[in-house]
Amino acid sequence: RSILADPRTEEMKEVVNTKIKFREPFRPFAPVILRDRAAEYFDYPNVEVHEAPRYMLMVAPIKADKQDKIQAVCHQGTGRLQTIERETNPRYYGVIERFGQITGVPVVLNTSFNLRGEPIVTSPKDAWNTFQHSDIDYLVLNTFLVRKPK
């Protein structure tokens, strides 16, 4: 139950905050990265073996040479890191892996699937309503992909 976006530009942070989440533009988003690639982007000793990043429970410094590659999830040089493993979440891992193959960046922006002041979606109906009342472009429900008309 997440909203995912391309983290490569600073503008995406503003888009997600103002057009999707309807919140202040300075609020940060979390980077999600393949666990086996986390050390490439984050300056945290043995980041790939720690448990905390699996649950988005830590803030880690983003390596200086990677900050410009993931601008939308870089907050004062850090990110509230989440790592994903193929074994525990193969579908989510596959999405990030494919995004990395296409863009060269194995990281996506992640934020909770809700609008400002609303609870996180818990059903397909909630997901549909949130999708309809925001500028989210695509909605994935199980094996279905829904695209908003332009």
CATH at 57 = 3.90.870.20
> Considering the chain, what percentage of its residues have pLDDT values greater than 90?
77
Across the range 121-143, mean pLDDT stands at 94
Answer yes or no: is 73 within a domain: yes
What is the pTM for the complete model shown? Answer: 0.90
Answer yes or no: is 136 within a domain: no
Answer yes or no: is 87 within a domain: yes
Burial classification of residue 96, based on how many CB atoms lie within 10 Å of its CB (0-12 exposed, 13-18 middle, 19 or more buried)? buried
* Chain centre distance of CA 64: 20
Across the range 91-116, mean pLDDT stands at 96
The owner of tokens 């279905």 is: 144
Token representation of residue 14: 């503003």
Answer yes or no: is 27 within a domain: yes
- Cα gap 148→130, rounded to integer Å: 12
Q: Look at the chain and report how many structural domains it folds into.
A: 1
Answer yes or no: is 19 within a domain: yes
Amino acid 99: pLDDT:
98
Answer yes or no: is 120 within a domain: no
- Cα gap 32→2, rounded to integer Å: 11
Which residue range(s) make up the domain with 10? Answer: 2-114
Across the range 37-64, mean pLDDT stands at 88
Across the range 69-73, mean pLDDT stands at 97
